[in-house]
Amino acid sequence: MRAQVAIIGGGPSGLLLAQLLMAQGIDAVVLECQTKEHVLSRIRAGVLEQGLVEIMRNLGVADRLDTEGMIHNGTVLSYDNDQVRLDFTEHAGKPVIVYGQTEVTRDLYDLREQTSGQTFFECEEVHPQDLKSDAPFVTFRQYGKDFRLECDYVAGCDGFHGVSRQCIPENVRTEYEKIYPFGWLGVLSETPPAHHELIYSNSARGFALCSQRNSNLSRYYIQCDLTDSVDQWSDEAFWDELKRRIPEEVADTMVTGPSVEKSIAPLRSFVCEPMQWGRMFLCGDAAHIVPPTGAKGLNSAAADVHYLSEGLINHYNNNDSRGLEGYSQKALERMWKTERFSWWMTNLLHRFPDQSTFDQKMQRAELEFLAENQLAVAVLAQNYVGLPY
């Protein structure tokens, strides 16, 4: 079996890359270790930068996004009962769109099936090989049968725990990591959003976020201990704690209800350098992780896919390999700026176990500075809506 590009990972970044290549006549095969149903069951972020939105539109797969996506021209930062509204369109010239990552993935799977793109699900023992040669290949097993996929290039879109990054020798790759001493307890509920825009809350009791998926589906988060388990948190306890961390006027009017999904996610910042080795290229979580505070996980993966797809398209269609040769450097230059923003937002809004009263005063001063200084708001807005590709 042969393809020009073997893509390991059938999440949104792998699917996005596959469809961008197929649109230019480049054959890409996707290998996914889970079932399609499992991939579509994952609850993830829902804030899309315009760069990703434009990619979806150019692929012709944005009908539902444009119909169901919620345009957000700003967001709210709160501390105690004080609030600062950040106007994205005023300070950055564009909004973000709230549309769940699950829906992005569903749209891309629908497009892949319409275009007869080849996807192998439930792949086991996936092994990229001969990556430094001119003839790399990937071996895998599906339903007890062994396969060999020969290719020109391999794209590792298989997440933090995937096999792709481990193929870069330890003496070649450098990994930078920060583990945060708390997690996010998230609840999805079939209730109207508490506010028409997202609310990021710095509270003496810890961070909270009021988010949404549509007009009757809301997503809420609270900072929790890493040792907590979902079983410790009843719906009643969650709603009670959330209301204590957000402005009173929002808490008094919000609608609560049974949770549809409840989970705890740890927070980390992580970057692997380089993002390419031989004929393999890493995209998204395979190369980097951001804490979700800045809403950058899926969006940073889309930036990688943009750079890599351009490099591959120019290589095949224009006999120009400069984009492939410089992929890692270009992707990392943007990624470290994205890491900085997510790290800064996390430090601004959370309570840390070893935080002193001085540290808390600094957080307060930073939030008050944002309330008073439009230049500071502009910097935050420009980072939140997404740096240019």
Token couple for 291:
């804490």
Q: Residue 71: phi, psi to the nearest 5?
A: -75, 125
Count of CB atoms situated within 10 Å of the CB of 210: 25
* CB-CB neighbours of 90 under 10 Å: 13
User: Is-catalytic flag, 200?
Assistant: yes
Active-site residue identified among 72, 91, 306, 350: 72
Nearest partner of 11 among 96, 143, 104, 124, judged by Cα? 104
Q: What whole-number distance in Å separates Cα of residue 117 and Cα of residue 19?
A: 8
The neighbouring-strand residues paired with 137 are 129, 150
Q: Which of 377, 375, 379, 368 is nearest to 337 (CA)?
A: 379
CA distance 311 to 361: 47
As a whole number of angstroms, the distance between CA 56 and CA 62 comes to 5
Longest dimension (CA), the chain: 64
Report the alpha-carbon distance of residue 149 to residue 102 in Å, rounded: 28
Residue 72 annotated as catalytic: yes
- Residue 121, classed as helix, strand or coil, is coil
What does the DSSP 8-state code read for residue 262? E
Question: Is 384 labeled as catalytic in the residue annotation?
Answer: yes
Which is the catalytic residue, given 136, 247, 292, 307?
292
Taken as a whole, the chain contains a residue count of 389
What DSSP string runs through 130-148? -TTSSS-EEEEEETTEEEE
Catalytic pick from 109, 153, 221, 384? 384
Considering 79, 180, 200, 327, which one is annotated as catalytic? 200
Whether 185 contacts 67, CB under 8 Å: no
Residue of 91, 195, 296, 350 marked catalytic: 296
Q: Which residues are catalytic?
A: 72, 200, 292, 296, 384
